[in-house]
Amino acid sequence: CVCVYHVVVDEWVKTEDKESFIMARRLIKEEGLLAGGSAGATMAAAVRFCKEKKLGPGTRVVVLLADSVRNYMTKHLNEDWMKDNDFLPCSPIQIGMNGTEWWRKHKIADLRLTMPMCVEPSVTCEDALKILKDHGFDQMPVVDSNHEVMGMVTIGNLTSYIVGGRVKLTDPVAKAVYKQFTKVSLDTNLGELSRLFNKDHFALVEAGQMSFKGKQDVSKIKVLVGVVTRIDLLDYITRNTKTTAAHGSNGGESGKCPRSKL
| Interval 1-41: pLDDT, tens | 567 788 888 999 999 999 999 999 999 999 999 999 999 99
Q: Are 198 and 190 in contact (CB under 8 A)?
A: no
Helices (H) and strands (E) in the chain, counts: 8, 5
Phi/psi at 35 (nearest 5 deg)? -90, 140
What distance in Å separates the CA atoms of residue 257 and residue 156, rounded to the nearest whole number? 35
Cα gap 140→84, rounded to integer Å: 23
The Cα–Cα gap between 95 and 233 comes to 14
Closest by CA to 76, choosing from 36, 44, 47, is 36
Determine the Cα–Cα distance for residues 75 and 24; give it in Å rounded to an integer. Answer: 11
Q: Whole-prediction pTM value?
A: 0.57
Task: Identify the three-state secondary structure at position 29.
Answer: helix
Q: Which residues of the chain have pLDDT under 50?
A: 92-98, 251-254, 258-262
pLDDT for 213-243, tens place per residue? Answer: 777 777 777 888 999 988 899 899 988 886 6
